[in-house]
Every structure is written in C-alpha cells, then in structure tokens.
C-alpha cells in the first residue's frame, strides 16, 4: 500500500498526466474533424453515439452535451446494437463510434452493418490504424501515451480524451449553428440554470406589493408603508414620477439624529436618483446590480420609466438564482 503522504503527489501526477494528454489532442485535429463537423451540420438526421465498456459511458455524456446544445443525438450501446437495437439507426443518421483500441469484437461486427445501411461513421479512437479507424468515414484521433492507471490498464486518460474530443465536436457545432443563450434556455427550462436564462424581473415582482409614498408624506406614514409592504423599502413619487427611495436603513439613520419624526417628511430623508431596473431585464441582471451596489432591494420601472414595484434579494434567493 502506498504511503498516505503520497496521496497528494499521486493526485497531482494523475491530473498532470491527463492534462498533458488532452493538450496533445490539439496536434491531432485534422481535416477529418472539420469534415465530420460539416457533415453533421448538413445532415437531416440525428447523431447516434455508440461504444462499449467505459467508452459507452463517455458516449452517453456526449449525447447529453449534443442534445443540450442543439444537435439531436441518441445513445446506442454497441453490444445491444448487434442483438436487436440496430433499428435505432435511421436513414439520415450519422453514427459516432467510440473505442480506444478500435478493434473490439463488437465494433468489428457493428461497423460493417452500419456501412451496409449507408450511414456515415465518425470514429473516436485512440488507434487511427485500427479496424474502426480505417473503416470509418471520418476518424478523430484520441491517442494517449499511457493511462493514468499505474498498470496502464484502467481507462482513465483515454476516456478523458474521448470526452474532450466529444466536447470539441459539440462546441464546434454549437458555434457553427449560431446557438445562443436563448436557444440554450429552451433546452434547460428547469432548475437554477434555466431560470438564470429565462426568468425576468417582471416574473419576480408579480406577487410583491408596491410600496409608495409622496414627497410630502410624513415620516410616521412612511414607516407604516415600509412595515406593511414588508420589503424594507418604499419608492418616493412626485407628480407620478419616481424621485427617490427610502429604506429601513434611512429610517434608522434619521432616528439616530432625531426622534422628533413629526418634523420630517419623505423628501427630507429620501435618497435621490435611486437605482432602478427595467421589468424586461433578466433576473440575473437584477442580482448583478444588487451585488455590485451592495444593496438588497431595487426599484422596478417600465419602458416609460414609470415606477412598477420592487425586487428584493429574497425574491432571487427564493427562485434559486443566487
């Protein structure tokens, strides 16, 4: 058993070995990679990704990445394919076969069957001279010098290389298609990620009250308004125009100076030129504004700069935007 003191050294050695292998992939990108990207772009079908063993695990991740970035893809296990699942592949589909050696029995059976159906094959293999590498229409070389496994047996560096090559393929397709953050949001509607991409300020304020006072409102009534609306803030409006903001912090600072609140009105303690955000702005923009200005609330206005309501930091926390 290795000395426990060597744990950190082993971890660093593994990471460096794999990172060097990944960096070397840049030397293996060639015209086949370019042609594979172009072919997928012009294809009317899906991308079917297949493999066996650890390569099958990598295949499922590549499928997920392709689907989430606008390229329809489906996984087919290489062993299952030759036992009935070959029907997954349809007329216009492109098949990506992943195999480190490119010479496994399942691959040798599967490749001719795919070619018989006239579907194009893209190989992701660590051996360009293998059966798969030579039979494929496009070969993406993921050669690595050695596995991170000290016995050079367990797929480690090789599967990382496969994954990175799949990412490179997906990102190229994404950029060639002009895939935008709005497109991304359509494929990720759930959870915090989706909300960061589609949730707007108008969605956040729908259930909030709208605290509002005039410049001449006595401070006692301002306190009531802030307390009742439970947002820790109120807008100050004059002639239907937003002119200021009062926070519970402004109230505390006033009371530190004088307890005779009857002497003061809203305009005496308000802050002018308050930070605002449009109802059409993304919720994540509201978060950025709050963080950059070290505030917990921001006033919301419409296209005509009319006061609409308040977004509180708690609204963003509740939606998981943080």
Dump pLDDT digits (tens) for 232-242.
999 999 988 89
301 shares a domain with 213: yes
Domain range for residue 255?
201-318
pLDDT digits (tens, 9 = 90+) for 85-94: 888 999 999 9
What is the tally of structural domains in the chain?
A: 2
Q: Are residues 151 and 27 in the same domain?
A: yes
Dump pLDDT digits (tens) for 142-200.
999 999 988 888 899 999 999 999 999 999 999 998 877 666 666 655 555 556 666 88
Mean pLDDT across 291-305:
91
Q: Which of 69, 75, 317, 46 is nearest to 188 (CA)?
A: 69
**CATH (domain of 127):** 3.40.50.10490
Residue 167: both structure tokens together? 């990412």
Rounded-to-integer distance, Cα 300 and Cα 302, Å: 7
Residues 104, 217 share a domain = no
**Does residue 310 lie in a domain region?**
yes
pTM of the model: 0.66
> What is the per-residue pLDDT across 5-37, written as a single tens digit (0 to 9) for each?
788 889 999 999 999 999 999 999 999 999 999
For residue 77, how many other CB atoms are within 10 A of its CB? 18
Domain membership flag for residue 196? no
Whichever domain contains 242, its CATH number is 3.10.580.10
Q: Are 169 and 208 in the same domain? A: no
**For residue 231, what pLDDT band results from cuts at 50, 70 and 90?**
very high
Task: Give me the long-range contacts of 128-135 (CB less than 8 A, separation at least 24).
Answer: 128/102, 130/99, 130/101, 130/102, 130/103, 131/102, 131/103, 131/107, 132/97, 132/99, 132/102, 132/103, 132/107, 133/102, 135/111
Residue 187 lies in a domain: no
Q: What is the pLDDT of residues 255-267, one digit of tens each?
A: 888 878 888 899 9
């Amino acid at each position: 058993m290795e000395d426990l003191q060597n744990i950190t050294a082993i971890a660093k050695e593994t990471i460096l070995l794999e990172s060097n292998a990944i960096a070397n992939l840049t030397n293996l990108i060639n015209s086949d990679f370019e042609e594979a990207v172009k072919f997928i772009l012009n294809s009317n079908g899906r991308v079917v990704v297949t493999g066996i063993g650890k390569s099958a695990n990598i295949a499922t991740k590549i499928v997920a990445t392709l689907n989430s970035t606008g390229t329809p893809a489906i996984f087919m296990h290489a062993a299952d394919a030759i036992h009935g699942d070959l029907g997954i592949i349809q007329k216009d589909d492109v098949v990506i076969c992943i195999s480190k050696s490119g010479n496994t029995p399942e691959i040798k059976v599967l490749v001719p069957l795919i070619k018989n159906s006239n579907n194009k094959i893209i190989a992701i293999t660590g051996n360009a001279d293998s059966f798969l590498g030579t039979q494929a229409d496009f070969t993406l070389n993921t050669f690595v010098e050695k596995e991170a496994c000290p016995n050079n047996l367990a797929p480690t560096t090789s599967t990382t290389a496969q994954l990175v090559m799949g990412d490179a393929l997906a990102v190229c397709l994404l950029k060639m298609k002009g895939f935008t953050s709005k497109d991304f949001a359509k494929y990720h509607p759930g959870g915090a990620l989706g909300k960061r991409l589609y949730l707007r300020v108008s969605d956040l304020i729908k259930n909030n009250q709208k605290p509002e006072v005039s410049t001449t409102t006595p401070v006692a009534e301002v306190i009531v308004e802030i307390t009742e609306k439970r947002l820790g803030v109120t807008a100050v409006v004059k002639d239907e125009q937003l002119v200021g903001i009062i926070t519970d912090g402004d109230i505390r600072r006033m009371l530190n100076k004088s307890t005779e609140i009857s002497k003061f009105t809203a305009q005496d303690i308000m802050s002018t030129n308050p930070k605002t955000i449009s109802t059409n702005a993304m919720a994540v923009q509201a978060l950025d504004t709050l963080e950059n200005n070290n505030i917990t609330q921001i006033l919301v206005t419409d296209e005509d700069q009319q006061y609409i309501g308040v977004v509180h930091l708690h609204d963003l926390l509740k939606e998981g935007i943080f």
